[in-house]
Amino acid sequence: MTDTGELTYRRVHDAPPELLFDCMTTPAHLTRFWGPTGTTTPLDGIVVDLRPGGAFETTMVNDSDGSTYTMRAVYVEVERPHRLVWVEAESHGGMRTTVTFTALRDGRTEVVTHQTNVPAAFRSAAARAGFQTSLDRFAAYLKILDEGGTT
Amino acid sequence: MTTDELSLVFAALADPTRRAILERLARGDATVNQLAEPFAMSQQAVSKHIKVLEKARLVQRTRSAQSRPCALDAVRLDAAAGWIAEHRRVWADRYDRLDEHIAQLRGRDSG
């Protein structure tokens, strides 16, 4: 973790890098998984202009109340199937997301999602969520740090 | 909390010694001397770390007692922790669903 705040997520998926890269960059795939549980990401709300400088936009619709959240990003690097970088300049004050796809010997792929300039993204979320105090959450946070969630 | 304030929190938390100090303070208030003990570190070095934590408003120092014990100030930490936990949950969920999607694609291929 640097002064600007970074978050890293590592996952191993049972698929080759090409398929994972295509899933992350094709609207017909994105609509199936992009929105977390409890949301849907309609196909007509997804914009993928897969080139540096091209738009990457998704609108997630909350299943329970119909509220929407639109992520507006611009691709910075597009290197199929190894690396994908986008920046959320408008909605998140510049949070940069880098996704790397590394083929493992057993045919699986390690996907590392690295986000920088995270505090900018925090501002609006913090305003929405309000502030709460508990030592339980402090402990949870230290656990996240120890597990390498922020490095 | 402004972006600059959160940046101070992240910067303060970037150091393992400072995280250890916060863990110690989560168990109760302590003086600089008490905090310095487990770290094999000079009192002066620990004071520097505490100043960073104070600036980020993660630690408060009592002005009343002469020993000026340090206390954890968890409001900002909680705000940061809550957001990070939520953010991680979104990505974990997203990749879970990606796995399910891929399994379905492959099922279709083989079927």
pLDDT of residue B48: 94
Better-predicted residue by pLDDT, A24 or A134: A24
Tell me: pLDDT of A126 over 60: no
pLDDT of residue A139: 43
pLDDT of residue B109: 67
B54 HSE (CA, 13 A, CB side): 14
Q: Output the CA angle B14-B53-A124, nearest 5 degrees.
A: 70
**Chain B: closest CA distance from residue A148 (Å):** 11
Q: Is A151 a domain residue?
A: no
A142/B80 Cβ within 8 A? no
- Complex ipTM > 0.85: no
Distance between CA B10 and CA A126 in Å, rounded? 14
**Chain A: closest CA distance from residue B70 (Å):** 16
Q: Which domain holds residue A72?
A: 6-146
Number of H helices, E strands in chain A: 5, 8
Average pLDDT over residues A115-120: 70
Residues of B in Cβ contact (< 8 Å) with A134: 74, 78
Better-predicted residue by pLDDT, A118 or A116: A116
**Chain B: closest CA distance from residue A9 (Å):** 8
- Domain B3-110: state its class: mainly alpha
Rg (CA), chain B: 21
Distance between CA B14 and CA A142 in Å, rounded? 11
pLDDT digits (tens, 9 = 90+) for B39-71: 888 889 999 999 999 999 999 998 777 778 999
Report yes or no: A19 and B102 within 8 Å, Cβ to Cβ: yes
Query: Looking at the 3D structure of chain A, how many domains does it have?
Result: 1
CATH of the domain at A140: 3.30.530.20
Q: Is A38 a domain residue?
A: yes
Q: Are strands B59-61 and B70-72 parallel, antiparallel or unpaired?
A: antiparallel
Number of H helices, E strands in chain B: 5, 2
- Collect all residues from B whose CB is shorter than 8 A from any CB in A: 1-3, 6-7, 9-11, 13-14, 19, 22-23, 26, 72, 74-75, 77-95, 97-103, 105-106
**Chain-centroid distance, C-alpha B80:** 8
Least reliable range by pLDDT among A69-78, A136-145, B44-53 = A136-145
pLDDT of residue A129: 38
Distance between CA A63 and CA B28 in Å, rounded? 43
B13/A1 Cβ within 8 A? yes
